[in-house]
Amino acid sequence: MSDDVIMEIILESEQLRKEFGALVAVNDVSIKIRRHTIHSIIGANGAGKTTFFNLLTNNVEPTAGRVIFKGRDITRLPLHRIAHLGIGRSFQITNIFPNLTVLENVRLAAQALGKDNFRLLDHHRHFQRYEERAWQVIRQVGLTERARMPARTLPHGDQRKLEVGMILAPDPEILLLDEPTSGMAAEFVPEMIGLIRQIHRTGQKTILLVEHNMGLVMSISDYITVMHQGQILAEGTPEQIAANQVVQSAYLGRLGWQVSEQ
């Protein structure tokens, strides 16, 4: 789907490494994410996917290595600066403002990169562009009817959607989604896939996805990186990965789920 787009690298890691005591969670991982692609990282639980994600966005400080975003070293940048560069990320464990309404959650996200954060004497409702943006995003993720509810009262699946909405609101260039379907009931997974596809297509965005729902990964990814025990096992298009012997034996094959032919 992205044949005619220039294959420019937007985000890359160089020899990224993280040790927790004796455990090497991420072992010198180098990866290149091309602009406007959906790139998935798969691997068993504990393979180091989430830690790798945390290293990319500096939620966890790496032991060694670098992260480069659009040619710029962002390895140890403060969290808020990373967001300002146009990187949005979601978490495996839903990370929202539980006691605020859905609208307020998204509105805060939309307001974050604006220039009106320190207007002490104006009511926040007076800044309509944020409110409009928030409604737009809420419509996009399909939460219009629940916009006025406190976020904690939402069902789990809707909270996941809200989180995607919060990342989307400031209109980032790249979205890092950590298991967006984790804990979702099966019939809502296609909805999430549709949402991700739509975000990718309409916004011309790059999406980096950590997932272990194989079906989802195979059906929407342009590229797949397979991680195993903190290292990259294989990289390539879904077809290449499905055909890869090493992946077959170590992850997908004898001990794993059958790959669906979708």
Partner 1 sequence: MSNLLEVRDVHTFIGQFHILQGVTVTVPKGAITTLLGRNGAGKTTTLKTILGLTPPRTGQVIFDGREIQGQRTFEIAALGIGFVPDYRAIFRDLSVEENLRIAERKPGDLERKADLIFGLFPDLKRLIKLRGTQLSGGQQQMLAIARALVADNKLLLIDEPTEGLAPVLIEQMMQAILQLAAETTVLLVEQNFHVASQLAKHYVIIEEGRSVQSGVMADLLKDTATVRRYLGAA
Partner 2 sequence: MKILRDHSTFLAVVVFLIAFPFLMALLDGQSIGAMLAGQSGNSKFYQGLLIEIFILGIFALSYDLLFGITGLLSFGHAMFFAVGAYTAGLALKSLKLPLPQTLGLVILAGIAQALLFSIVLPRVKGITFALVTLGFASVFHIVIMSHELNDLAGGDVGLQNIPKPDYLDPAAQRLTFYFVALAFTILVYLFYRRFVDSPTGRVCIAIRENEHRAQMLGYNTFYFKLVALIVSGITAALGGALHALYQPIVSPVTASLAYTVNALLIILIGGVGTLSGALVGAAVFRLLQFFLDKFFGESSSFILGVVYVALVLFLPYGIIGTWRAHRLEWQAAWRARFARVATMLNRKT
Residue ranges in contact with partner 2 by CB under 8 A? 57, 78-80, 82-84, 89, 95-100, 104, 107-109, 111-113, 116-125, 127, 130, 166, 170
Q: Using the minimum distance from each CB to partner 1, give the nearer residue, 45 or 128.
A: 45
**Which residue of 115, 123, 125, 254 would you call a contact of partner 1, by CB under 8 A?**
254
Cross-strand partners of 31: 13
Interactions with partner 1, residue window 97-136 (CB under 8 A): none
Contact between 93 and partner 1 by CB under 8 A: the answer reads no
Closest contact distance (angstroms) between CB of 198 and partner 1 is 18
Tokens of 126: 């007076």
Tokens of 100: 């605020």
Q: Which of 178, 203, 195 is nearest to 51 (CA)?
A: 178
Q: How far is CA 125 from CA 12, 25, 88, in A?
A: 39, 45, 24
Amino acid (one-letter) located at 202: T
**Which residue of 3, 6, 21, 245 would you call a contact of partner 1, by CB under 8 A?**
21
Contact between 255 and partner 1 by CB under 8 A: the answer reads yes
Closest contact distance (angstroms) between CB of 229 and partner 1 is 6
Q: How far, in Å, CA of 76 to CA of 18, rounded?
A: 14
Contact between 45 and partner 1 by CB under 8 A: the answer reads yes
Helices (DSSP H) in 112-188: which residue ranges? 128-141, 156-168
Q: Which does 153 bind (CB under 5 to 8 A by kind): partner 2, partner 1, none?
A: partner 1
Q: Which does 246 bind (CB under 5 to 8 A by kind): partner 1, partner 2, none?
A: none
Q: Using the minimum distance from each CB to partner 2, give the nearer residue, 174 or 224.
A: 174
Amino acid (one-letter) located at 130: Y
Q: Which does 5 bind (CB under 5 to 8 A by kind): partner 1, partner 2, none?
A: none
Q: Which does 104 bind (CB under 5 to 8 A by kind): partner 1, partner 2, none?
A: partner 2
180 contacts 90 by C-beta, under 8 angstroms: yes
DSSP string, 65-122: EEEEETTEE-TT--HHHHHHTTEEE--SS--S-TTSBHHHHHHHHHHTTSS-TT-TTS
Give the binding site for partner 1 (CB under 8 A): 21-23, 44-47, 152-153, 156, 182-186, 189-190, 212-216, 218, 229, 249-250, 254-260, 262
